[in-house]
């Protein structure tokens, strides 16, 4: 039995938005794999909930007319990783969310919940950052579009204003077209673990596949919130495919990150995490370039 | 707190339960339906001992609200036996391979393995391990569990080809 107080049960997004406006203190309940556990723990006991898990209009993935990949927020990690649109256009996102928890957690956990929690370790976050995702945030007053780049304010805090519900995650065509990506999660265990560091890279090569046309790289757990490394991206632009490229990306990444210490990582461990930043940046870049058909010289 | 009637299919039978809306699916199925194969292990979705299939997919019933089960098709370990109570091939394989010691995790493991053994293509041991990664066993060391699943999957695939 869960010790929550009121349970609001909207039958549509419209009703959910009205409820969220009327009861700003009530929490949105999606898959519940964080909220229900916090209720059980006592951290959220007695809270009010708006159950949106049954709203089918917030579930599913499609390719829109303008070529954007639209992911509705209640889509489970399993459904994200299995979906043909994801597999064809942004396979790295499917590979990233396939590393969350175990099968049972991937069936209940939702991609919207993953990023609205605002934790730096969210496995979908770095890939969505690296693909410059756009968020659709709805309220009774209308829809606000926000780059995911601007969404995380502080650990556990995101730019969801009072009365707002996330209703869509879009990856624009320009972001995914002709790109190849790679995600590396470093954790203590292969499953049921939270990332010590996560790194997502996607690259677009030039026409003859000899140089980087565009590289995008983002990290989870390398800072209090998921972050992009623009220094690494700038230094990679136009770079030939060689060892120096990997070194530039690794050093650029190191310049931008700010890992903190936590119960999962002591002070000494921070140094290890900085080493991981360089190493994962190198490896993910190399893997992405190779997936794109690029060959390394020297 | 308000009670609610929840109607869902459990092990092939349509049933209605009157539940407190704060109940988890494990509270409903173990507490009210008496399906004791569902174990309350960690109660936070980490151990997998409460695993059931909902519309064919494994879920931790301890972190699933009972009211989400409305209209769903639920399968628990009890539903694997035939009407005479004869156990299924996967259950027998767990016994034969020594994949059971204390037995507390076993129903959860068997339910998590159902989607694997019903596949048409053989899975690698690595793939099997990935599919049971949401279940913990503190006795067996997993090897015999993987053996039981692998053996049952092979047998079923061979039977399909006949």
Q: Give residue-wise pLDDT tens across range B15-32.
A: 999 999 999 999 999 999
* Together in a domain, B59 and B97: no
Q: Which residue among A37, A40, A108 sits closest to B59, beta carbon to beta carbon?
A: A108
pLDDT tens, residue by residue, A159-212: 999 999 999 999 999 999 999 999 999 998 888 889 989 999 999 999 999 999
Tell me whether residues A40 and B43 touch, CB distance under 8 A: yes
Q: Which residue among A1, A36, A108 sits closest to B20, beta carbon to beta carbon?
A: A1
d(CA A250, CA A253): 5
Q: What is the domain extent for residue B102? A: 89-161
| Distances, alpha carbon A296 to alpha carbons A16, A215, A239, A242, B37, in Å | 52, 16, 12, 5, 55
* Together in a domain, B119 and B145: yes
The C-alpha of A3 sits at a distance from chain B's nearest C-alpha, in angstroms, of 7
* Together in a domain, B45 and B105: no
Find chain B residues with C-beta within 8 A of A108's C-beta.
45, 59-60, 63-64
pLDDT at residue number A192: 86
Find chain A residues with C-beta within 8 A of B45's C-beta.
33, 37, 101, 104-105, 108
Residue after which a domain boundary falls, among B22, B51, B80: B80
ipTM of the complex model: 0.97
Q: What percent of chain B has pLDDT over 70?
A: 99
* Together in a domain, B17 and B74: yes
Residue after which a domain boundary falls, among B61, B80, B99: B80
User: What integer is the mean pLDDT of B43-68?
Assistant: 98
DSSP state letter for B28: I
Note down pLDDT in tens along chain A; length 298 residues.
999 999 999 999 999 999 999 999 999 999 999 999 999 999 999 999 999 999 999 999 999 999 999 999 999 999 999 999 999 999 999 999 999 999 999 999 999 999 999 999 999 999 999 999 999 999 999 999 999 999 999 999 999 999 999 999 999 999 999 999 999 999 988 888 899 899 999 999 999 999 999 999 999 988 889 999 999 999 999 999 999 999 999 999 999 987 665 655 567 777 888 899 999 999 999 999 999 999 997 5
Find chain A residues with C-beta within 8 A of B24's C-beta.
1-2, 36
* Together in a domain, B69 and B20: yes
User: What integer is the mean pLDDT of B78-98?
Assistant: 96
pLDDT at residue number A196: 87
* Together in a domain, B93 and B66: no
Q: Which residue among A2, A51, A192 sits closest to B134, beta carbon to beta carbon?
A: A192
* Together in a domain, B112 and B46: no
Ordered by where they begin, the domains of chain A are 1-52 (3.30.43.10), 180-291 (3.30.390.50)
Is the Cβ–Cβ distance between A161 and A177 less than 8 Å?
A: no
Q: Are strands B13-20 and B3-10 parallel, antiparallel or unpaired?
A: antiparallel
* Together in a domain, B68 and B95: no
**Tokens linked to A144:** 């606000």
pTM of the model: 0.96
Look at chain B and report how many structural domains it folds into: 2
* Together in a domain, B96 and B122: yes
Q: Closest by alpha carbon to A28, among A167, A128, A126?
A: A167
B117: CATH: 1.10.150.120
* Together in a domain, B103 and B46: no
Is the Cβ–Cβ distance between A274 and A259 less than 8 Å?
A: yes
* Together in a domain, B73 and B126: no
pLDDT at B147 over 60: yes
pLDDT at residue number A271: 83
pLDDT at residue number A266: 67
* Together in a domain, B69 and B97: no
Q: Which residue among B22, B65, B133 sits closest to A102, beta carbon to beta carbon?
A: B133
Phi, psi of A270 (to 5 degrees): -60, -40
- Substitution target from B1, B41, B57, B110 for chain A, most A beta carbons within 10 A: B57
């Amino acid at each position: 039995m869960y010790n929550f107080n009121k349970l609001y049960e909207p039958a549509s997004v419209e009703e959910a938005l009205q409820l969220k406006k009327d009861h700003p203190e009530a929490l949105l309940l999606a898959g519940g794999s964080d909220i229900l556990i916090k209720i059980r723990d006592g951290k959220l006991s007695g809270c009010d909930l708006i159950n949106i898990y049954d709203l089918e209009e917030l579930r599913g993935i499609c390719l829109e007319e303008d070529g954007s990949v639209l992911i509705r927020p209640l889509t489970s990690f399993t459904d994200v990783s299995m979906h043909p649109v994801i597999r064809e256009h942004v396979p790295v996102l499917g590979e990233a969310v396939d590393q969350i928890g175990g099968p049972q957690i991937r069936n209940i956990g939702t991609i919207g919940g993953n990023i609205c929690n605002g934790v730096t370790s969210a496995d979908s976050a770095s890939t969505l950052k690296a693909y410059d995702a756009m968020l659709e945030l709805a309220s009774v007053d209308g829809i606000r579009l926000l780059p995911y780049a601007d969404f995380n304010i502080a650990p556990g805090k995101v730019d969801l204003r009072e009365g707002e519900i996330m209703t869509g995650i879009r990856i624009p065509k320009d972001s995914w077209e002709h790109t190849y990506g790679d995600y590396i999660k470093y954790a203590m265990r292969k499953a049921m673990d939270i990332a010590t560091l996560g790194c997502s890279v996607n690259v677009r090569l030039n026409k003859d596949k000899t140089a980087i046309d565009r590289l995008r790289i983002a990290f989870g757990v390398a800072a209090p919130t998921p972050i992009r490394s623009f220094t690494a991206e700038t230094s990679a632009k136009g770079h030939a495919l060689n060892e120096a490229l990997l070194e530039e990306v690794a050093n650029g990444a190191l310049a931008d990150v700010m890992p903190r210490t936590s119960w999962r990582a002591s002070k000494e461990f921070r140094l290890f995490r900085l080493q991981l930043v360089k190493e994962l940046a190198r490896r993910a870049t190399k893997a992405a370039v190779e997936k794109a058909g690029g060959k390394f010289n020297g | 707190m308000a009670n609610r009637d929840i109607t869902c299919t459990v092990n092939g039978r349509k049933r209605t339960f009157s539940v407190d809306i704060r109940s988890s699916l494990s509270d409903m199925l173990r507490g009210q339906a008496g399906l004791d194969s569902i174990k309350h292990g960690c109660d936070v979705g980490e151990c997998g001992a409460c695993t059931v299939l909902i519309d064919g997919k494994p879920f931790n019933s301890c972190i699933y609200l009972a009211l989400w089960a409305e209209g769903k098709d639920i399968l628990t370990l009890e539903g694997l036996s035939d009407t005479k109570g004869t156990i299924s091939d996967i259950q027998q394989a767990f016994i034969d391979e020594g994949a059971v010691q204390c037995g507390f995790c076993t129903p959860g493991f068997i339910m998590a393995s159902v989607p694997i053994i019903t596949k048409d293509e053989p899975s690698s041991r690595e793939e099997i391990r990935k599919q049971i990664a949401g279940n913990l066993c503190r006795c067996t060391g997993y090897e015999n569990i993987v053996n039981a699943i692998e053996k049952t999957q092979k047998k079923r695939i061979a039977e399909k080809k006949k």
